[in-house]
Amino acid sequence: MIAQLDCMRQNILGVLIWLRSKLVKILSVLFGPMIRALLRCLGWTLLPSQFENRIGHQITEPLYLELLRLAGRARWTKALVLWDPSKIANQWAFDALPESFVRVKNAQIRALLNLLSHLAFSRSYPSPTQGIGAIGVAAEIFKYTNLVTPNFEFLKIPEEAERERKVRIRLGIPLDTWICTLHVREPGQFDDELTQAYRNSSPENLALAIGEITSKGGFAVRVGQNQVNRVVPSGTVNYLELNSSVPTQGEDELLLCRASRFFIGNSSGALAMAVSHGIPVAAVNVAPLGALKIWGPRDLAIPKLYRHENSGKLASFSEILHTGIGDLRSSSEIHSSGFRLVENSAAEIKEVVLEMVNRLDGTHVESELDSRLQSKMQELFVPSNYTFFSKTRIGADFLRRYSSLLS
């Protein structure tokens, strides 16, 4: 009897969800054009509540709107931010949004405008008010990442240089030392491990790279909440783990990421704190492969490899990119497809970090072989891949090491 009642409830719930979706579509057809016309007349656009509790979305979604405006693809003077203040991932970043982003404080007005946004843009696809993380929706952003130059300042922090100086003094980072911030997403940090574990990696594999940074006169700072495994590179003193070894304040990560010479991360949202200020990224352990070209033309990236579960052989890049497997963003889906992901080794991570340092120093030399391999890898991406439009380069040493996978 109980099982029958549960089944009945599930059926009723399914019908209600279906009816709601149909009603939204009907209302979108009836009222969507009128709402969009009104917004255009007012010079407004809407930034609806969606993933403001994740730092990557919180920064990159408004940045996407700004880049579309700068590229002449969107005409608006005010963006109404409809985020729930209680869900904001980083209050400092929220407060630092440009004046053109108007925070709607009244909860009832936010709810109404969120509904209007859904009706206006659910059929206008793609839309700047769709989630930046929605596959295939906001991939257009990679067409405009070249607008984020080294002098680009999206988030506006008053007296930023003085604030940074005080943070350095408080945390014991020398004022005359360049900084590299890094982020490693570890198992156990998030609740959605069944789907998102493919983005995890071992922080221990960054030890060699951190040693390289400090040997070049830099200071490495690891950012991110709920760190599980400590990284203590042998003989390294210019290294600090925020939220682990020292007490920190809410703005520390944002300020230090923006003060970095470059950022080390992967497809986690922490890199948004750097790219919004034009800081280059050395992306490692990137997955899925379709998201490899992490951001803009000044960045470097190397991916996790795909190994066949049955044969143990590494899959070619084209096999993954051209079949849809390279765009799967679920650990269970990747496993069900017959693959397991292989993390970058410590040596591979060190190589791409050293390439980034050399490029910034102006000492990197690209051989004719490197140019051919780079072109060959870039040509493998197809429009269905999330970062197809990106101009991010793939690490030169990585491509030489795995040149056989380019065939």
- At 122-173, the pLDDT tens digits run 544 334 434 333 334 468 889 999 999 888 889 998 999 999 999 999 888 9
What's the pTM value of the predicted model, to 2 decimals?
A: 0.86
User: Between the CA of residue 76 and those of 43, 44, 91, 117, 141, what are the distances in Å?
Assistant: 5, 5, 25, 15, 17
Scan for tokens 């596959």, then name that residue.
Answer: 135
Domains defined along the chain, listed by start:
19-143 (no CATH), 160-406 (3.40.50)
Distance of CA 377 to the CA centre of its chain: 21
The token pair that represents 175 in the structure block: 């004022």
Q: Which strands form 44-47's sheet, in the order they lie side by side?
A: 44-47, 78-81, 101-103
Q: Are 339 and 325 in contact (CB under 8 A)?
A: yes
Average pLDDT for 338-362: 97
CA distance 361 to 364: 8
The pLDDT, as a whole number, for residue 123 is 42
List pLDDT tens digits, range 95-105.
Answer: 999 999 999 99
> Is the pLDDT reported for residue 249 higher than 80?
no
pLDDT for residue 19 is more than 60: no
User: SS3 helix, strand, coil % of the chain, rounded to 5?
Assistant: 45, 15, 40
